[in-house]
Structure 1
Amino acid sequence: MSSSPSHAQLLKALSLPTSTKWIVIYYVPYSNDTSYRVIPISQFLSSLSVPSSSNPPPSTEQHVIDITKIKGGKLAINPVAFYLVEGLYNPPEAGIGPRGEIWLVPDLMSVRGWNPLGLRKRGEELVNEGAYASVFGWFEDKGISNNGERRANVNCARGVLDRIVRTAKEELGIQFLAGFETEFILTLSSSETSPTGAPLPVNPYGWNESKAARSGTLELAVMEEICECLLKMGVEVLYWHAEAAPGQFEIVTAPLRPVQAVDCVVMTREVMYDVAQRYGLRATLAPRVFDSAPGSAAHVHISLSPTPSSPLPSSLTLPTPSNPYSLSSLEASFLQGILDHLPASCAFTLGAPQSYERVKDGIWSGGTWVCWGRDNKECPVRLCGSPPRPSNPSSFQPSSGTSGSSSTATTTATTTYEDGGDGGTINVTGAAGAGGGGWNLEVKCSDGTGNPYLALASLLASGILGIKSLLSSQSSSTSSQSLSINPSSPSSSSSTAAPSPPSSQLMEESLGQASSLPETTRQKMGIVQKLPTSFSEALKALEEDRELGGMLGEELVRSYAAVTRFRAERLEKLSLNELVDRF
């Protein structure tokens, strides 16, 4: 049985102020158009319940209810929520009609007491004037599964990422942290354009220039308020700076567990848009606004480590001298999986036709060849950080807890993120300050046009496939051998053949870019596969990659392809100024 505790008890359990008036439930459909529903807080609290055994008696009003015991709050919604493009258009190929309902269920571990809708500046103080709270939602099918549990909807992007993370933990004993860089351009309003109709940047300055955000400027006020809003919402900002394009800035947020990290990215973007609009500006994630300047990316950093109870032998998790940079076999196989499936992952990480204006050689955006490097920005995958110290052999060590938690104080690892410039590093130490050093992988062929939950899910799923390939080859081998980073296609990534030399697909910084090498040299290095040069090529690669499709879900891949093809057709018809508005 369950009962309804008082609203005061529920607010306390959810860490919400008593002044809260509204709660906003967020979700992100395939089209990456962040969506929400706003509910009066009294209505929301009235829909929640707690099992009687967990509900404190009336005489203990101050007792805090265990948030994990609270149930309810779900909303019925048509499944078209996954498929809509621009909130209006339902692609016919998706096959979704007016019938049917699913549940939008709030993930109460993601509740935040602040929301960009209500944030206002009053003098020097930032206040939550609208008294809004926020929460992210999951999608569940109506009905109960055979084991009595709710059924997660296979098309829920946030749910797919959570499933991938849980699969890695439960089947392989590995866990992840992820961190994002958000690059965007501030322009004048859509009505203020050049004589040719092109958007006008808020300033003409470049990478790290102090002129880009002088004291008293609109740019500095916007960046200060964005970061202050994020900090109020519990999103940890590591740093921000002017980027290389006119009016371009970058915000780097702290590494967190994957679902939580993407939640923070979504909130970062929402705050970015809202604050810029309040100052009469536009913030855009459009991939390439100016032909003569770099584009805007959403680089993602990923690292993995064994769980405390992992069944993996230490021979796989400790540094392996025979591997490049002494990567552990676990890290090397994860990297190999990402490389094998990178063309297919681009359908998620580079989610629009305009994204491929960044897939070019010589513009420091990762180049066009599938390869990796240590300090080489012409590689789509870059090894960042430093070798782990003996006392901390794992790159990242996420703390235990649910992946949707909004607390940033639970990160226990020391992680290293590289600045985009001269190779200086910032060591980010969490509350427990455990150990030091460690590698993380930066995926550069990623921007803000695609669904970030699916983008990260595809990269993690690819890496998991690489690890499974390693374990499969080891189980069928009678001798122990370290894993080398070797080239292979998705169809052959589970092969048990002997690995090729450790330098395969590795572009040392001294070699420049892969495109400038003779073809015979690239082939000897194992650099034989190119990234897609269009969104249609990326979708084709995704649909042909049965291994990755099997990890993500065949129905999801089919539906995603139908929706994003339709979206791409619409995006290709927009002017540059309209694209800046769209993204």
Structure 2
Amino acid sequence: MSTGTVVSAGLADPSEPAAGAAARSAGERAAAGSPAAVALPPRADRAERAQAVVERLRPAGVEAVAVTWVDNAGITRVKAVPLAGLVHAAEWGVGAAPCFDVFLADDTITTSRLIGGPTGDLRLYPDVDRLVPLAAQPGWAWAPGERHTQDGAPYPGCQRLFARRTTAAAAARGITLQAGIEVEWVVALAGAPQEEPQYPTHGPAYGMHRLTDLSDYLRDVLRALGEQGLTVLQIHPEYAPGQFEVSVAPEGPVEAADTTVLVRHTIRAVSARHGLRASFAPVVEAGSVGNGGHLHLSLWRDGRNLARGGSGPYGLTAEAEGFLAGVLGALPELLVLGSSSPAGYLRLVPSHWAGAYQCWGLENREAALRLVTGSTGERTTAANAEIKCFDATANPYLMVGAVLAAGLAGLDQRLALPPEFTGDPAEAAPGTVPRLPAGPAEALAAYQKSSVLREALGEPLYEAVLAVRRAESEQYAAATPAQLAAATRWRY
């Protein structure tokens, strides 16, 4: 339920003229979005960069590196290596079985048509250029990982590589994107997983009372994020008991996904050091306002924000409008990737600022797609769009990659936005505004009809996501809202 604005400051590559980007052939564009665009750098280069990182981290007391990836259930998994082993990990990777792609949130395992079972292995490579010493976990550093086959080829089920492919497909059109993912969480006193949450503050929603009660804790969250090189835009209490939100500066799509993983686990680590625990689950208690994972994004070409200076609604250019129209039209199927758990539908209810209706509007917090122009004087940099129907059960790489795929399809088709909706769509005449899926079955039906997502994801990843969503839908089909909230509140 954020009211904040993400300021987009990213610029397109000035070295490539717009005419050159526009003149690229369809074949070149396809190649930019292909596995060749995400190939591993030469082994010697990887080793050299890793060695430089080791030499920088050793005097800082770093002893181990956590290398993470996020599975299709939205759970961050990890392999760790001692600092002395980082160069070898960068050269040769760390073993990681492909079966993780069909893990469910509770660690049970399903299978898919193309991925699953006990056979096979992959190599998990740390992205040492994104490696960060962890301020709240002394002696540790973190790096996002990418998975390749044992032959060194890009693994088609790797979610981070998927996000990189779709980002490259946008770049082939001369478009740079900036993105930011809001992080909302509920903090509770530490306890056993089966215990009902007990909150360390009972102050009013958005109240200074809450900030005062937990000022040391929130200061340490800010300090840790800052020491890790992140620029915090704002931090504040939210609506639900024990709920807070933090927003950081926008980055490229892949980097924004990396950052949301880092931010969540930094908050988790700071919470543990304060005798607290954090939940990023969509709903911590059934019937309460939930945690969102809203995605902000803006499109840029040659240093120009495409959300300003056009002839479309509120100054949108034709490219920005086509992109957003593609996203808006695909929201039912995008929920499979942006609100992954069945618990997400406990949050996605009308009149809760969750974006439960498939509509858009200027600063409309009930619309699934909220257009943000920013204040007079900063609109050329601040204008962006917010997708409100997503939450933190999403694999952020799948989320940003799928949104890019849907938006680029809309851009290519030169789609236009439907009429804007103002006010609360729940109060509109029945049938006036489409309701987004109210459960996983509806979203899965839309996903299975989406040729855009199937083509963008590729069959192995598309099928693995489908298998995990089906299995979790069946797993919780008979659960009450309270049971579903309890089963997922400490998994995220």
What amino acid sits opposite 2:339 in the alignment?
L
Q: Within the alignment, does 1:514 sit opposite 2:458 as a pair?
A: no
User: Equivalents in 2 of 1:164, 1:7: separation in Å?
Assistant: 28
Q: What is the match of residue 385 of structure 1?
A: 373
Residues 429-468 of structure 1: pairs in structure 2 closer than 5 A: 436-468=380-412
Q: Is contact 1:162-1:259 (8 Å) kept?
A: yes
Q: What is the match of residue 161 of structure 1?
A: 163
C-alpha change, 1:9 and 1:97, in structure 2 (3 Å) is: closer
Q: Is contact 1:276-1:283 (8 Å) kept?
A: yes
Q: 1:353 is paired with a residue of what secondary structure?
A: coil
What amino acid sits opposite 1:359 in the alignment?
L
Q: What is the match of residue 325 of structure 1?
A: 314
Q: 1:550 aligns with which of 438, 441, 455?
A: 455
- What is the identity percentage for the equivalent residue pairs of Structure 1 and Structure 2? 25
Q: What is the match of residue 102 of structure 2?
A: 83
Which has the larger Rg?
Answer: 1
Q: Is contact 1:77-1:102 (8 Å) kept?
A: yes
Q: 2:341 aligns with which of 352, 373, 385?
A: 352
Q: Is contact 2:157-2:461 (8 Å) kept?
A: yes
Q: 2:210 aligns with which of 209, 212, 233?
A: 212
User: Equivalents in 2 of 1:306, 1:75: separation in Å?
Assistant: 38
What amino acid sits opposite 1:153 in the alignment?
Y
Q: What is the match of residue 25 of structure 1?
A: 67
Comparing 172-181 with 13-22, greater Cα deviation is found at 13-22
Q: 1:16 aligns with which of 34, 52, 57?
A: 57
Q: 1:137 aligns with which of 145, 162, 168?
A: 145
Q: Within the alignment, does 1:34 sit opposite 2:114 as a pair?
A: no
- Tell me how far 1:336 sits from its aligned partner: 0.4
C-alpha change, 1:517 and 1:567, in structure 2 (3 Å) is: closer
C-alpha change, 1:317 and 1:222, in structure 2 (3 Å) is: closer
User: Equivalents in 2 of 1:12, 1:578: separation in Å?
Assistant: 40
Residues 274-353 of structure 1: pairs in structure 2 closer than 5 A: 274-291=269-286, 293-307=288-302, 319-321=309-311, 323-353=312-342
Q: What is the match of residue 101 of structure 1?
A: 121
User: Equivalents in 2 of 1:5, 1:273: separation in Å?
Assistant: 30
What amino acid sits opposite 1:300 in the alignment?
L
- Tell me how far 1:5 sits from its aligned partner: 11
Q: Given the two structures, how large is their TM-score scaled by the length of structure 1?
A: 0.70
**Residue deviations 1:2-36 (CA, integer Å, cap 9, x gap):** 87999999235874343322111111111221111
Q: 1:361 aligns with which of 350, 353, 374?
A: 350
User: Equivalents in 1 of 2:82, 2:404: separation in Å?
Assistant: 37
Q: Within the alignment, does 1:110 sit opposite 2:130 as a pair?
A: yes
Q: Which has the higher contact order (CA 8 A, sep 6+)?
A: 2
User: Equivalents in 1 of 2:97, 2:53: separation in Å?
Assistant: 32
User: Equivalents in 1 of 2:333, 2:267: separation in Å?
Assistant: 29
User: Equivalents in 2 of 1:156, 1:339: separation in Å?
Assistant: 26
Q: Is contact 2:92-2:123 (8 Å) kept?
A: no
Q: 1:244 aligns with which of 239, 249, 252?
A: 239
Q: Within the alignment, does 1:225 sit opposite 2:220 as a pair?
A: yes
C-alpha change, 1:279 and 1:11, in structure 2 (3 Å) is: same
**Residue deviations 1:56-112 (CA, integer Å, cap 9, x gap):** xxxxxxxxxxxxxxx615123221122223474220445522221111111122111
Structure 2: segments with no counterpart, 5+ residues: 1-41
Comparing 554-563 with 199-208, greater Cα deviation is found at 199-208
Comparing 7-16 with 204-213, greater Cα deviation is found at 7-16
C-alpha change, 1:98 and 1:507, in structure 2 (3 Å) is: same
Q: Is contact 1:387-1:437 (8 Å) kept?
A: no
Q: Is contact 2:53-2:128 (8 Å) kept?
A: no
How many residues are matched? 445
Structure 1: segments with no counterpart, 5+ residues: 49-70, 119-127, 144-149, 390-413, 417-435, 471-482, 487-503
Q: What is the match of residue 173 of structure 1?
A: 174
C-alpha change, 1:377 and 1:38, in structure 2 (3 Å) is: same
What amino acid sits opposite 1:384 in the alignment?
V
Q: Is contact 2:308-2:383 (8 Å) kept?
A: no
User: Equivalents in 1 of 2:145, 2:45: separation in Å?
Assistant: 21
Q: What is the match of residue 403 of structure 1?
A: none
User: Equivalents in 1 of 2:210, 2:307: separation in Å?
Assistant: 44
Q: 2:383 is paired with a residue of what secondary structure?
A: strand
Cα RMSD, aligned residues only: 2.9
Q: Is contact 2:283-2:485 (8 Å) kept?
A: no
